[in-house]
């Protein structure tokens, strides 16, 4: 990709649209080695260029298992929160392309990963869960999957969980209420998630 475009990407401070547009431009060049380029961008000092790398890997991941693995490992370890937001989008891109029901095995694997950023990529990326195919017809499965990490050590993850359940409660209040009623809110971590999920 033209270095001038990369330099412009490094100047972007807000939003994702320009980065996604640049990624789509890269993918139209069929002579480009997209995976290798994504790895090159992933090593950049600029978080914006690493966001571009995450986007590219998300686009490649349905047909490139190594791209999904890099998202799950290297991208998930990135300390910049904006890169983590792009990781969430990349995971949803993978699920949308593969099919949400067909992605259940990968969704469950990521939700059981020891890295909270991997788990959050699922919880945050699929919001609003029940607006997605499969989960639209199976809200109880979505609620159960999201709730599995309600007591995680990571407040960053628990905030995403509480917000995701709150989203679902707008259309499925009884189902979310039934799930919340089963929680042990004497646990401080669970109580934190509970408060976010049941707020009015």
Q: How far apart are CA 118 and CA 162, in angstroms?
A: 17
Task: Give the whole-angstrom CA distance, residue 13 versus residue 81.
Answer: 13
Over the chain (200 residues), what is each successive 10-residue block's mean pLDDT? 70 78 88 90 94 97 97 98 97 98 98 98 98 98 98 98 98 98 98 94
Give the pLDDT confidence score for residue 10 in this predicted structure: 79
pTM over 0.95: no
Supply the DSSP string of 108-165, one letter for each residue. Answer: HHHHT-SSHHHHHHHHHHT-SGGGSTTTTT-HHHHHHHHHTTTT-S-HHHHHHHHHHH
* DSSP assignments along 72-117, one per residue: HTTGGG---HHHHHHHHHHHHHHHHHH-TTTTHHHHHHHHT-SSHH
Fold of 1-86: 1.10.1240
Q: How remote is the C-alpha of 5 from its chain's centroid?
A: 26
The CATH number assigned to the domain with range 99-200 reads 1.25.40.290
Q: Looking at residue 77, what is its pLDDT?
A: 98
The Cα 111–Cα 20 span in angstroms is 26
């Amino acid at each position: 990709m033209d270095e001038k475009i990369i330099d412009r990407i490094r100047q972007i401070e807000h939003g994702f649209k320009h980065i996604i547009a640049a990624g789509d431009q890269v993918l139209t060049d069929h002579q480009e080695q997209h995976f290798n380029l994504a790895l090159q961008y992933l090593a950049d000092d600029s978080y914006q260029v690493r966001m571009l790398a995450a986007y590219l890997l998300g686009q490649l991941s349905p047909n490139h298992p190594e791209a999904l693995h890099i998202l799950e490992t290297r991208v998930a370890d990135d300390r910049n929160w904006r890169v983590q937001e792009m990781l969430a989008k990349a995971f949803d891109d993978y699920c949308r392309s593969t099919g949400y029901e067909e992605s259940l095995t990968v969704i469950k694997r990521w939700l059981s990963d020891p890295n909270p950023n991997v788990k959050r990529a699922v919880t945050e990326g699929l919001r609003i869960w029940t607006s997605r195919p499969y989960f639209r017809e199976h809200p109880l499965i979505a609620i159960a999957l999201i709730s599995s990490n309600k007591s995680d050590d990571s407040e960053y993850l628990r905030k995403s969980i509480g917000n995701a359940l709150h989203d679902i409660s707008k259309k499925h209040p009884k189902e979310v209420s039934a799930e919340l009623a089963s929680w042990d809110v004497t646990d401080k971590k669970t109580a934190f998630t509970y408060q976010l999920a049941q707020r009015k």
